[in-house]
């Protein structure tokens, strides 16, 4: 199992950025996927989840209405579209695989190495 | 929203047992997962569903949960166990994943 994030970088407040997570080593279309972020030196914060088929999406209140999760099962790739970015969105963003199947959710058994998003003027 | 409370730090001597707690309202009725994170690395799942271990995780790592407290126990602590540890649940009433604030384990 391998998860590789990309797309991070420095962006001005109010701008947009799209992160990608390329999955390999497992049947991507069978697993729900999460985005989790971590402000440098701080704890983990869950951001969003998408079901295995893309039919269900859930968001933390802090990003609801600004971030959009999506997936392309034909490409085994997860995405996070981040709009109206704020300085407080600065963090390392990890994609992670859900441990449960179907529409059941719990924890994450595999994580990528993360991509850094820095929102600054 | 559901809150998980962890002590900021726990210290233990090598060879001793470390216990890291995670408090939450009736957490014993939830499935609790624990992660280890070393500096510069991604989190690693060490216990899931309260007390199960993923393959490759040493038996020294164990978990339990009852009432309002879940506990990660690390037996025969080694220097390599020094890390941040996070508890986590899926809050089905709110459809949110919730993490505790994390506990820094220091091996003296």
Give the distance from CA A45 to its chain's centroid: 11
Q: How far is it, in rounded angstroms, from Cα B84 to Cα B37? A: 5
Give the nearest chain A residue to B53 (CA atoms): A109
With contacts defined as CB-CB under 8 Å, which chain B residues touch A45? 99
Which tokens is B56 given? Answer: 């490759």
Look at chain A and count its residues.
121
What digits encode the pLDDT tens for the residues A8-48?
999 999 999 999 999 999 999 999 999 999 998 899 999 99
Give the distance from CA B52 to its chain's centroid: 12
**Residue A101, pLDDT score:** 87
Confidence band of B25 (pLDDT split at 50, 70, 90) = very high
Task: Please return the burial class of B29, using the count of CB atoms within 10 Å of its CB with bins 0-12, 13-18 and 19+.
Answer: exposed
Using beta carbons and an 8 Å cutoff, which residues of B are at the interface with A? 1, 31, 33, 35, 37, 41-45, 48-49, 54, 84, 86, 88, 90, 92, 95-102
* Structural contact between residues B7 and B103, judged by C-beta atoms closer than 8 angstroms: yes
Residue A56, number of CB atoms within 10 A of its CB:
13
Which tokens is B22 given? Answer: 């995670």
- Compute the nearest-CA separation of B103 from chain A (Å): 9
Q: B74, B77, B75, B72: which is closest to B87 by C-alpha? A: B72
- Compute the nearest-CA separation of A49 from chain B (Å): 9
- Counting one residue from chain A and one from chain B, the pairs whose CB atoms sit within 8 A come to 61
Give the nearest chain A residue to B8 (CA atoms): A43
Percent of chain B at pLDDT exceeding 90: 99
What digits encode the pLDDT tens for the residues A39-70?
988 999 999 999 999 999 999 999 999 999 99
């Amino acid at each position: 199992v391998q998860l590789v994030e990309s797309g991070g970088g420095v962006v001005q407040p109010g701008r947009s950025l799209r992160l990608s997570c390329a999955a390999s080593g497992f049947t991507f279309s069978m697993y729900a996927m999460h985005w989790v972020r971590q402000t440098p030196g701080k704890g983990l914060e869950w951001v969003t989840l998408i079901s295995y088929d893309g039919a269900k999406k859930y968001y933390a209140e802090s990003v609801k209405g600004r971030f959009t999760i999506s997936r392309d099962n034909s490409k085994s790739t997860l995405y996070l579209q981040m709009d109206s970015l704020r300085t407080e969105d600065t963090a390392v963003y990890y994609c992670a695989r859900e441990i449960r199947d179907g529409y059941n959710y719990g924890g994450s058994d595999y994580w990528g190495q993360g991509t850094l998003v820095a929102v600054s003027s | 929203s559901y809150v998980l409370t962890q002590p900021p730090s726990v210290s233990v001597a090598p060879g001793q047992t470390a216990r890291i707690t995670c408090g939450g309202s009736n957490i014993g009725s939830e499935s609790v997962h624990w992660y280890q994170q070393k500096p510069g690395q991604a989190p690693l799942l060490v216990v899931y569903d309260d007390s199960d271990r993923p393959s490759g995780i040493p038996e020294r790592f164990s978990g339990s949960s009852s009432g309002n407290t879940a506990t990660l126990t690390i037996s025969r602590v080694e220097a390599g166990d020094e890390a941040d540890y996070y508890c986590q649940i899926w809050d089905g009433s709110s459809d949110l994943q919730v993490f505790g604030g994390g506990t820094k384990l220091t091996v003296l």
